[in-house]
């Protein structure tokens, strides 16, 4: 983004009430408008770098709501990413975030980290796990890591259950691979049922959005090129993601970064043009689903729309309508179904108090509609929502694909 674009901010304030952090803190410095003015002053050399400036810029969920609501078309998202990079260069990074970046920058390190965490989950005494929190989430409320990484447990090429109607690539992301394999198996089950051949490239890796959000674009490049190389030679109908944040990386960030590097963006743009979130894909081909007609119990569900599904893809209404169309459930909308839960990548860890207030409000509203299942299509939202529920809340948080798959007719 150019300095000229930053000048376009007419200070109208429309981004203020779109910003979940501002809405909670009610401080001008938490607003997107103030962040832009500070960035402009820093770029013009009228404001020096400081720990406080880094803190103000970083206290942001990177939810994209300001960009989606700005009448002047300002791309806060890219500007914040650039500024975060400068702040890390000037002020350094915390040891915890540095370690996370180091881990996520290579697949073998992610695997090592997941193995270590899995072993830790087995040996940690309950008393410790109950009382120690990572950010706002008690350790004993974290999901149990997959016994086997999803991509290892599934085949690379999966044939459909019926006459083939097309071929899709599946980008599984780290969360499905290491944390939530139920999402992955349900996605495969639905696509097979619909008649799609599925390709899950073995050597895909982290989409790297956490690295980009933490100003470590240089460290993300190995992952980005690995993913592009793993996906570019397949002639498919769609590249599917089960997490809209991964989708944002593949669709919008990769082409921009590759072009900025002066590399040929042809392959990246070709992949980007086919990226689609799994719920929109299912919705487009809804008539291919056959449900189990013996299901009589009406499940009661509500939905939490992840920020990137809403702000980057505008697909939250498609997701909600898809859920409403499912014949075996009753949908109950909460008044804040499309408001941020405060998970925000590592926001729940870095700003636990702010995050906790956001998620507790969501939980209160979800409990009020008395649903049994709380559906959401983002693994961080799922972890944050489920991680802050109490045992007696009687609400199970799942990706929508899990519930769709469980109701399909066996072929």
- Residues making contact with ligand SF4 (CB under 6 A): 9-15, 18-21, 32-33, 35-36, 60-66, 70, 72, 74, 76
Q: In whole angstroms, what is the distance from residue 25 CA to residue 11 CA? A: 19
Nearest-approach distance from CB 367 to ligand SF4, in angstroms: 25
Nearest to 57 by CA among 42, 75, 73: 42
Q: In whole angstroms, what is the distance from residue 323 CA to residue 398 CA? A: 13
Q: Helix, strand or coil for residue 361?
A: helix
Question: What angle do helix axes 51-58 and 76-91 make, rounded to 10 degrees?
Answer: 150
Helices (H), 244-378: 244-248, 254-260, 266-274, 278-284, 307-311, 316-325, 347-350, 352-368
Nearest-approach distance from CB 355 to ligand SF4, in angstroms: 11
Q: In whole angstroms, what is the distance from residue 23 CA to residue 37 CA? A: 19
> For ligand SF4, which is the closer residue by CB, 73 or 262?
73
> For ligand SF4, which is the closer residue by CB, 57 or 228?
57
Nearest-approach distance from CB 255 to ligand SF4, in angstroms: 20
> For ligand SF4, which is the closer residue by CB, 190 or 249?
249
> For ligand SF4, which is the closer residue by CB, 146 or 346?
346
> For ligand SF4, which is the closer residue by CB, 194 or 246?
246
Structure tokens at 354: 């702010």
- Cβ(396)–Cβ(373) under 8 Å? yes
Nearest-approach distance from CB 295 to ligand SF4, in angstroms: 39
Nearest-approach distance from CB 60 to ligand SF4, in angstroms: 3
Q: Any idea of the CA torsion for 88, 94, 96, 99, to the nearest 10 degrees?
A: 50
- Cβ(379)–Cβ(401) under 8 Å? no
> For ligand SF4, which is the closer residue by CB, 32 or 113?
32
Nearest-approach distance from CB 350 to ligand SF4, in angstroms: 12
Q: In whole angstroms, what is the distance from residue 117 CA to residue 121 CA? A: 6
> For ligand SF4, which is the closer residue by CB, 9 or 299?
9
Nearest-approach distance from CB 216 to ligand SF4, in angstroms: 18
């Amino acid at each position: 983004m150019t300095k000229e674009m930053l000048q376009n901010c007419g200070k109208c304030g429309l981004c203020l009430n779109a910003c979940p952090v501002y809405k909670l803190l009610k401080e001008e410095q938490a607003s997107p408008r103030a962040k832009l003015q500070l960035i402009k002053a820093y770029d013009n050399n009228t404001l020096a770098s400081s720990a406080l400036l880094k803190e103000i810029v970083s206290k942001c969920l990177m939810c994209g709501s300001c960009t989606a609501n700005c009448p002047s078309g300002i791309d806060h998202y890219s500007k914040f990413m650039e500024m975060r990079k400068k702040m890390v260069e000037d002020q350094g990074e915390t040891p915890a975030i540095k370690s996370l970046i180091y881990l996520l920058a290579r697949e073998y390190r992610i695997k090592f980290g997941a193995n270590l965490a899995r072993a830790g989950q087995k040996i940690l005494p309950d008393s410790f796990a109950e009382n120690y929190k990572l950010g706002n989430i008690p350790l004993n409320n974290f999901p149990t890591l997959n016994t086997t990484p999803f991509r290892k447990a599934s085949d690379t090429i999966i044939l459909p259950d019926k006459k083939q109607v097309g071929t899709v690539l599946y980008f599984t992301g780290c969360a499905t691979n290491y944390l939530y394999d139920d999402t992955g198996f349900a996605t495969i089950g639905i696509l097979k049922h619909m008649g799609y051949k599925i390709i899950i490239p073995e050597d895909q890796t982290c989409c790297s959005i956490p690295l980009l959000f933490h100003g470590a674009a240089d460290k993300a490049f190995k992952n980005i090129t690995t993913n592009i190389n793993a996906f570019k030679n397949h002639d498919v109908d769609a590249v599917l993601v089960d997490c809209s944040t991964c989708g944002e990386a593949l669709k919008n960030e990769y082409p921009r970064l590759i072009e900025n590097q002066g590399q040929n963006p042809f392959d990246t743009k070709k992949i980007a043009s086919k990226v689609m979130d799994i719920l929109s894909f299912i919705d487009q081909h809804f008539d291919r689903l056959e449900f189990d007609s013996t299901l009589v119990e009406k499940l009661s569900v509500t939905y939490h729309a992840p920020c990137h599904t809403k702000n980057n893809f505008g697909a939250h209404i498609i997701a909600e309508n898809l859920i409403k169309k499912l014949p075996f459930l009753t949908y109950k909308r909460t008044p804040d179904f499309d408001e941020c839960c405060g998970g925000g990548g590592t926001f729940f860890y870095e700003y636990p108090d702010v995050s906790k207030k956001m998620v507790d409000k969501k939980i209160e509203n979800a409990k009020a509609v008395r649903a049994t299942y709380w559906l959401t299509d983002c693994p961080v939202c799922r972890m944050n929502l489920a991680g802050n529920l109490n045992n007696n809340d009687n609400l199970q948080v799942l990706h929508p694909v899990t519930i769709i798959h469980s109701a399909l007719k066996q072929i």
